[in-house]
Amino acid sequence: MSAQPPLVHHPDWPAVRSAVAPDEQIEQRVEEILRRMTPEEKVGQMIQPELAELTPEDVREYRIGSALNGAGIWPGGDRRATPGDWVKTVDRFWEAAESAYRGRGFRIPFMWATDAVHGHNNVFGATVFPHNIGLGAARDPRLLERIGAATAREIAATGMDWTFAPTVTTPRDRRWGRYYEGYAEDPEVVHGYAAAMVRGVQGAALDTGVTACIKHWVADGGTAQGGDRGTARCPEDLVRNIHAAGFLSGIAAGAQSVMVSFSSWEDPANYDHSPDWGEAYNHKLHGSRHLVTDVLKGRIGFDGIVISDWDAHAEVAGCTVGDAGYAIAAGIDVLMVAGREAWQSVHRTTLEHLRTGRIAPDRIDDAVRRVLRVKMRFGLWEAPRPADRAADPAVLGCPEHRALAREAVRKSLVLLKHRPGTLPLPRTSRVLVTGSGADDIRKQTGGWTLTWQGNDVTRDDLPGAQTVADAVRETVGDAHCTVDPFLESADPAAHDVAVVVIGEDAYAEMRGTIKPWGTLAYAGLKRSYARDLETLRRLRAAGSRVVTVFLTGRPLYTTEEINLSDAFVAAWLPGTEGGGVTDLLFAAPEGGPAHDFRGRLGFSWPRTARSHAANRIPPHIPGYRVPPEEQAPEGEHEPLFPYGHGLRLADPPTADDPLPEDTWQDDTPVPPAAGPVEVLGTPDSPFVWRIGGHNTWSRPHIAFDGVTDVLVVRAVPMARAGRPGGPALDLRFKGYPAFVYAQQPEGRPADLRGYAESGVVEFDVRVLEAPTAAFQLACHDDYPAQPGLDLTERLRALPAGRWATVAVPVAELGRIGSDLQHVDVPFMLYTEGTARIELADVRWRTA
3-state secondary structure of 359: coil
Q: Assign 269 a pLDDT band (cuts: 50, 70, 90).
A: low
Closest-CA residue to 284 (of 258, 311, 305, 247): 311
294 by Cβ neighbours in 10 Å (0-12 / 13-18 / 19+) ranks as middle
pLDDT of amino acid 116: 98
* pLDDT over 70, % of the chain: 94
Instruction: Return mean pLDDT, the chain.
Output: 92
Most distant CA atoms of the chain, gap in Å: 81
Q: How many helices (H) and strands (E) does the chain have?
A: 22, 31
With CA atoms as reference, report the closest residue to 842 among 821, 831, 820, 827: 827
Q: Which of 248-262, 625-639, 778-792 has the lowest mean pLDDT?
A: 625-639
Burial 455-478 (b: 16+ CB within 10 A, else e): bbbebebbeebbbbbbbbbebbee
Each residue's pLDDT tens digit, 650-675? 998 877 789 999 876 666 788 888 88
pLDDT of 478 reads 97
Whether the CA torsion 447, 448, 453, 454 is positive or negative: it is negative
Separation between Cα atoms, residue 99 and residue 452, nearest integer Å: 33
Reported as a pLDDT band with limits 50, 70 and 90, residue 283 is confident
As a three-state string, the secondary structure of 727-742 is: CEEEEEEECCCEEEEE
Catalytic residue from among 509, 561, 782, 832: 509
Q: Give the pLDDT confidence score for residue 629 in this predicted structure.
A: 57
Residue 640's Cα: distance from chain center in Å? 27
Instruction: Give the three-state DSSP class for 489.
Output: coil
What amino acid occupies position 331?
G
User: What's the CA gap between 621 and 627, in Å, rounded?
Assistant: 13
**CA dist list (Å): 442 to 447, 583, 768:** 8, 20, 36
- Strand 264-266 relative to strand 789-790: parallel, antiparallel, unpaired? unpaired
Going by pLDDT thresholds of 50, 70 and 90, the confidence category of residue 784 is: low
Q: Which residue has the higher pLDDT, 66 or 266?
A: 66
pLDDT of residue 510: 86
Length of the chain: 847
Per-residue H/E/C for 56-116: HHHHHHHCCCEEEECCCCCHHHCCCCCHHHHHHHHHHHHHHHHHHCCCCCCCCCCEEEECC
Work out the end-to-end distance of the chain between its first and last CA atoms, rounded to an integer number of angstroms.
69
- Stretch 458-475: mean pLDDT, rounded? 97
How does pLDDT run across 530-588, given as a tens digit for each residue?
A: 999 999 999 999 999 999 999 999 999 999 999 999 999 999 999 999 999 999 999 99
Torsion (CA) 815, 572, 617, 416 in degrees, nearest 10: 100
Asked if residues 367 and 359 have their Cβ atoms less than 8 Å apart, the reply is: no
Query: Which pLDDT value is given to residue 273?
Result: 43
Give the best-scoring range by mean pLDDT among 224-228, 282-286, 298-302, 743-747. 298-302
Q: Bigger pLDDT: 260 or 745?
A: 260
Closest CA to 488 of 443, 538, 439: 538
| pLDDT bucket at 442, cuts 50 / 70 / 90 | very high
What is the mean predicted confidence (pLDDT) over 161-168?
Answer: 98
Return the DSSP state at 242.
I
Overall average pLDDT of the 607-617 stretch? 86
What is the predicted pLDDT for the residue at 667?
63
DSSP state string for 796-821 = HTSPTTSEEEEEEEHHHHHHTT--SS
Q: How far apart are CA 787 and CA 110, in angstroms?
A: 41
CATH T-level assignment (fold) for domain 31-394:
TIM Barrel (3.20.20)
User: H/E/C letters for each residue in 161-198?
Assistant: CEECCCECCCCCECCCCCHHHCCCCCHHHHHHHHHHHH
Per-position b or e across 561-587, b if 16+ CB within 10 A of its CB: bbbbbbbbbbbbbbbbbbbbbbbbbbb
User: Which residues share a beta bridge with 502?
Assistant: 550
pLDDT digits (tens, 9 = 90+) for 384-413: 999 998 878 899 999 999 999 999 999 999
Query: Which pLDDT band holds residue 426 (cuts at 50, 70, 90)?
Result: very high
Query: Reading across the β-sheet that carries 431-434, which strands appear in turn?
Result: 414-418, 567-572, 546-551, 497-503, 431-434, 481-483
Whether the Cβ atoms of residue 636 and residue 611 lie closer than 8 Å to each other: yes
Does 407 participate in catalysis according to the annotation? Answer: no
Nearby residues of 617 by Cβ (< 8 Å), 6 or more positions away? 624, 625, 626
Q: What is the pLDDT of residues 18-75, one digit of tens each?
A: 999 999 999 999 999 999 999 999 999 999 999 999 999 999 999 999 999 988 899 9
The H-or-E segment that residue 535 falls in is helix 527-541
Q: Residue 698 pLDDT > 70, yes or no?
A: no
DSSP string computed for 271-328: -EE-TEEEE-EE-BGGG-HIIIIIIIIIIS---SEEE--TTGGGGSTT-BTTB-HHHH
Q: Which fold does the domain 677-846 belong to in CATH?
A: Jelly Rolls (2.60.120)
* From 415-419, 636-640, 729-733, 761-765, the region with the lowest mean pLDDT: 636-640
Q: Is the pLDDT of residue 282 over 60?
A: no
| CA 227 vs CA 509, 727, 751, 781: distances in Å | 10, 33, 22, 14
Q: Per-residue pLDDT averaged across 157-166, rounded?
A: 97
* CATH of the domain spanning 413-635: 3.40.50.1700
CA pair distance 779, 317, nearest whole angstrom: 31
Choosing from 309, 315, 439, 566, the catalytic residue is: 309
Contact 49, 343 (CB under 8 A): yes
More confident residue, 782 or 712: 712
Query: Which residues are registered as beta bridge partners of 265?
Result: 232
Per the model's pLDDT, the better-predicted residue between 98 and 519 turns out to be: 98
Q: What's the burial of 391, exposed, middle or buried (CB within 10 Å: 0-12/13-18/19+)?
A: middle
- Decide if pLDDT at 711 tops 90: no
Catalytic, 98? Answer no
Which residues have a Cβ under 8 Å from the Cβ of 337 and sit 6 or more positions away?
A: 47, 48, 49, 311, 313, 321, 324, 343, 346
pLDDT recorded at residue 615: 78
pLDDT digits (tens, 9 = 90+) for 717-770: 998 765 655 689 999 999 888 899 999 877 678 889 999 999 999 999 999 999
CA distances from 345 to 319, 337, 702 (A): 12, 10, 21
% of the chain residues with pLDDT over 90: 76
Banded pLDDT at 281 (limits 50, 70, 90): very low
DSSP H or E segment with residue 377: helix 361-377
What is d(CA 277, CA 283) in angstroms, rounded to the nearest whole number? 15
SS3 832: coil
Handedness of CA 744, 796, 511, 337 (dihedral sign): negative
With beta carbons less than 8 A apart as the criterion, state whether 844 and 679 touch. Answer: yes
pLDDT of residue 726: 65
- Residues with Cβ within 8 Å of 248's Cβ and at least 6 positions away in sequence, in order, are 10, 14, 16, 191, 300
705-713: average pLDDT: 88
Q: Which of 298, 328, 294 is nearest to 313 (CA)?
A: 328
In sign, the C-alpha dihedral spanning 333, 338, 344, 350 is: negative
For residue 80, count other CB atoms closer than 10 A to its CB: 13
126-159 pLDDT, tens per residue?
A: 999 999 999 999 999 999 999 999 999 999 999 9
Residue 644 one-letter amino acid: G
The angle formed by the CA atoms of residues 289, 331 and 376, to the nearest 5 degrees, is 150
* Domain ranges, ordered by start, for the chain: 31-394, 413-635, 677-846
Mean per-residue pLDDT, 116-134: 98
